[in-house]
Structure 1
Amino acid sequence: MLADDPAAVWLRAVCLRRITASPTGLHRPACAALVHCSGSPAVHLGRQLKEEREEEGSLSAGERKMHTFFRIIDTQTKLHSKAAPLNARELASLRLTLQSAGIHADLDEGEVDGTALNFEYNANAVAIARFAQLFDARLDIVSVIEESQFLGRAIRVRRTDSDAFATLEVSEHIAISPELAVTRRQAELVLDCLDWPRSERRSIPLDELRSRLGAGRTYSRFERHDLGYLFDYLARIADTDCGEQIPELAWV
């Protein structure tokens, strides 16, 4: 492998991270984290972040802590694939393939882009045939990606305590619908409008969300707080077809 090869550069960076403490760095791409609802505060916030971080392509740690992210998840449906081990070269190939397709990683808190070992990708836009060609001798890796695409989910790379460099698995995140980023205060108001208790459980089944959105006074509550655009977005989420999965709206 040539010294200036991107994969070699990435591998060196990851190896360095494994023996040094990494600082808190950049997180989730702004364009993927914000819903573009015409005329809403969300779209203005999205444009502002996009302009400020066009080159970096992600929200900073401080910015992320100021927001709550709503996303669809499923933690109950039984998966058929098992977590597949990845060595450093396989992980580098996966990253470069997705990056060349214009897909950015959704990093866990505390991870730094370029050396991250805990992150997710929404790989649904890349043909499964491309991955089958890339990992022709690794059916377990292809099986994980195939199931994630069948379910409309993201794929998750995770650093484990095992001998494997990292593992690849199907994420609980159903990536059919984009995430919604709101301020923490707005998130609290959303829960109040839905009459959902602020308990330790940070999710609501989509069936229950549909029912609460359909209640007579719910829309007027959102309007009272100038959050009508969030009601519209949540209504679209509630109508998301997740097949035979057991979806919930979660906030983090």
Structure 2
Amino acid sequence: MSITFRIATAADDQPGPIAKINARQLAAFRIFLREESVRTGTLLLDPDAAEDEFLSYHFEARVCPIALAAISRVFEFQADVIRVVEEAQFRCRRVSVYRIEETGTINLRVAPTSDLGLELDLASANAIALLDGLGLRPDSVGEIPIDTMRARLANPAVRRRAAQHGVATYLARLDQLLAIAAADDTSRLEWA
């Protein structure tokens, strides 16, 4: 089991746009992402291993480095796809492709993952040790406002305690994650 630390906002509490796509569009999207990855030298498709040659229905893709018009063309300028990609780019998030087995539909929506994939995914024992080292309640699910977390990380005593718990190496990654957080009142660090 693992626990993932990520940035969330009020927009994550609302249902976001979802677009239905077909298998032909999905295949074209994967080809487009691979070509753009080669052209730009940026990994855009996750996962995209060599053994993943079959048509995958569960993956995330970076869309922020790509023009909205270029992505929209792949989907024949479908309005609901444009809404999803535009929302993902606005929020600096990836898009998620997934299939609903019961209906067979393929969906595209804004992913909870940041565009750069800075989320911190730790084994449960390490995550609990990190929470304990930060002086937080070591529950497997929780949240804390960004400003409160930044203040906590700025405290030298908290950093010493994290070092004593053997989790100081995760603090730099946590700092990176917090750096992408918007400066509004709804931003929070959550883990689950």
TM normalised by structure 1 equals 0.60
CA gap of 1:177–1:116, structure 2 versus 1, over 3 A, is closer
> Cα deviation per residue 1:4-58 (whole Å; 9 max; x = unaligned)?
xxxxxxxxxxxxxxxxxxxxxxxxxxxxxxxxxxxxxxxxxxxxxxxxxxxxxxx
Secondary structure of the structure 1 residue equivalent to 2:96:
strand
One-letter identity of the residue aligned with 2:94: A
Aligned Cα RMSD in Å?
Answer: 3.1
Pair 1:150-2:90 in alignment = yes
- In structure 2, the partner of 1:87 is 22
- Equivalences for residues 172-191 of structure 1 within 5 A: 172-176=112-116, 178-191=118-131
- Asked if 2 retains the 8 angstrom alpha-carbon contact of 1:81 and 1:140, the reply is no
Indicate the structure whose relative CO is greater, using CA pairs within 8 Å and at least 6 residues apart. 2
Distance 1:80 1:192 in 2: 33
Structure 1, gaps ≥5 residues long: 1-64
**Alpha-carbon deviation of 1:163?**
4.6
Secondary structure of the structure 1 residue equivalent to 2:65:
coil
One-letter identity of the residue aligned with 2:147: D
- Asked if 2 retains the 8 angstrom alpha-carbon contact of 1:156 and 1:171, the reply is yes
Larger displacement relative to structure 2 (242-251 or 186-195): 242-251
**Alpha-carbon deviation of 1:78?**
6.4
**Alpha-carbon deviation of 1:93?**
1.1
> Cα deviation per residue 1:99-124 (whole Å; 9 max; x = unaligned)?
222222249xxxx9334322222221
CA gap of 1:191–1:81, structure 2 versus 1, over 3 A, is closer
Pair 1:228-2:163 in alignment = no
Equivalent residue in structure 2 for 1:117, among 54, 57, 65: 57
One-letter identity of the residue aligned with 2:33: L
Secondary structure of the structure 2 residue equivalent to 1:159:
strand
- Asked if 2 retains the 8 angstrom alpha-carbon contact of 1:74 and 1:173, the reply is no
**Alpha-carbon deviation of 1:77?**
4.4
Secondary structure of the structure 2 residue equivalent to 1:242:
coil
Pair 1:194-2:134 in alignment = yes
> Cα deviation per residue 1:172-218 (whole Å; 9 max; x = unaligned)?
22335523344443322211011222335244332332232234520
Pair 1:98-2:33 in alignment = yes
Structure 2, gaps ≥5 residues long: 38-43
Structure (1 or 2) with the greater strand fraction: 2
Distance 1:131 1:162 in 2: 28
Distance 2:75 2:157 in 1: 53
One-letter identity of the residue aligned with 2:17: K
TM normalised by structure 2 equals 0.76
**Count of aligned pairs between the two proteins:** 183
- In structure 1, the partner of 2:81 is 141
- Percent identical among aligned pairs is 25
- Asked if 1 retains the 8 angstrom alpha-carbon contact of 2:3 and 2:140, the reply is no
Pair 1:132-2:72 in alignment = yes
Distance 1:121 1:233 in 2: 21
- Asked if 1 retains the 8 angstrom alpha-carbon contact of 2:6 and 2:189, the reply is yes
One-letter identity of the residue aligned with 2:34: Q
Distance 2:61 2:10 in 1: 18
- In structure 1, the partner of 2:41 is none
